[in-house]
Structure 1
């Protein structure tokens, strides 16, 4: 009888399943994501993935759910770094880009493809956490008096610019000499300058 996996080992294998599914989905298309193909790529028995997820649809929802929590965590950690609001905002930007580079398939799956099970409780909680997290650095700059803005809208403006820069980098379509961070710096500097409070 095989030895039961520890909680840590179970979690690690779930992560491997999700990483495999995300890669297959993005690189080969939705049809490539089957329980059999996942098992083959992971080198395990055909029925093994079913011990962790009932079907491929639940895996894809889990990819996004787990990805959003991991994404939110790295941004929250970055926001907790020392410095003023602008410094912490840059730390969030750098953490965002680092996550997208290190987890490109998951990142693309989170934002390029719609989630069909948006009412899934775990997914909804992860999504709401992410929405709070990606604009939290704007609240810090507002509290410091650095900018005057509607935090959710301004945060989404910055987010949209950063996501666009990241996707252009992933696609290899940035101008020579630019990466996502340097391009975004120019955009966000203009946005922040436009939102500065009027001089007294």
Structure 2
């Protein structure tokens, strides 16, 4: 089979998979993750249910794939903030604000959130995130903007655990106040 044919088929499969995950995201946003069904996904994407089942065995598999894509997107965004302009302290603040905002948006998913937030991809993401924040904390400590009497890894754990509370906060203003309290806790 010509290589072009294989690339075209793989491109088509990626496009269908992306369309399914985009539809899942739209449905979850409009109706909540629990309301996502294979029938709704098929209708939203305009593909038949039989085709959908060729890609995913059930709605849980679709939700997991969607979640993995979300986690990757969040990590990429946080990595971009880490690598952006400004001092380490400024970049740390931007990363923590973004992470807290992610936690706030995630707060209302209940059982589905608990189902999706487990497994190896989540463990890897947590390790990556802890390393990302820990690296920024170490850099900011070297610049004198973050306390150096506590190891950066411990400060990173403190920051990330404290910011998980953003999931229950009522407003963006409350999230910003929480971030300010966390940042006060890491300053010298």
TM-score clears 0.5? yes
Structure 2 residue 81 is the aligned partner of structure 1 residue 86: no
Match runs of 1:163-178 below 5 Å: 163-165=164-166, 167-168=168-169, 173-174=170-171, 178=173
Q: Which runs of 4+ in 1 moved over 6 A?
A: none
Please give the alpha-carbon distance, in whole angstroms, between the structure 2 residues aligned to 1:92 and 1:107.
Answer: 22
Corresponding position of 1:184: 178
Please give the alpha-carbon distance, in whole angstroms, between the structure 2 residues aligned to 1:53 and 1:89.
Answer: 38
Bigger Cα displacement from structure 2, 42-51 vs 14-23? 14-23
Q: 1:57 to 1:63 in 2, by over 3 A?
A: same
| Structure 1, unpaired ranges of 5+ | none
Kept in 2: contact 1:63–1:106 (CA 8 A): no
CA distances 1:39-89 after superposition (whole Å, capped 9, x unpaired): 123332222322332332322221222221111111111001122211111
Please give the alpha-carbon distance, in whole angstroms, between the structure 1 residues aligned to 2:108 and 2:134.
Answer: 18
Tell me how far 1:166 sits from its aligned partner.
Answer: 5.2
* C-alpha RMSD of matched pairs (Å): 3.6
Please give the alpha-carbon distance, in whole angstroms, between the structure 1 residues aligned to 2:117 and 2:183.
Answer: 36
Q: 1:6 to 1:29 in 2, by over 3 A?
A: closer
> TM-score, with normalisation over the residues of structure 1?
0.66
Structure number having the greater helix percentage: 2
Tell me how far 1:126 sits from its aligned partner.
Answer: 4.3
Corresponding position of 2:160: 159
| Structure 2, unpaired ranges of 5+ | 1-7
Q: Number of residues paired by the alignment?
A: 177
Q: 1:72 to 1:135 in 2, by over 3 A?
A: farther
Kept in 2: contact 1:61–1:123 (CA 8 A): no
> TM-score, with normalisation over the residues of structure 2?
0.69
Match runs of 1:111-190 below 5 Å: 112-115=113-116, 118-119=119-120, 125-145=124-144, 146-148=146-148, 149-165=150-166, 167-168=168-169, 173-174=170-171, 178-181=173-176, 183-190=177-184
SS at match of 1:161: helix
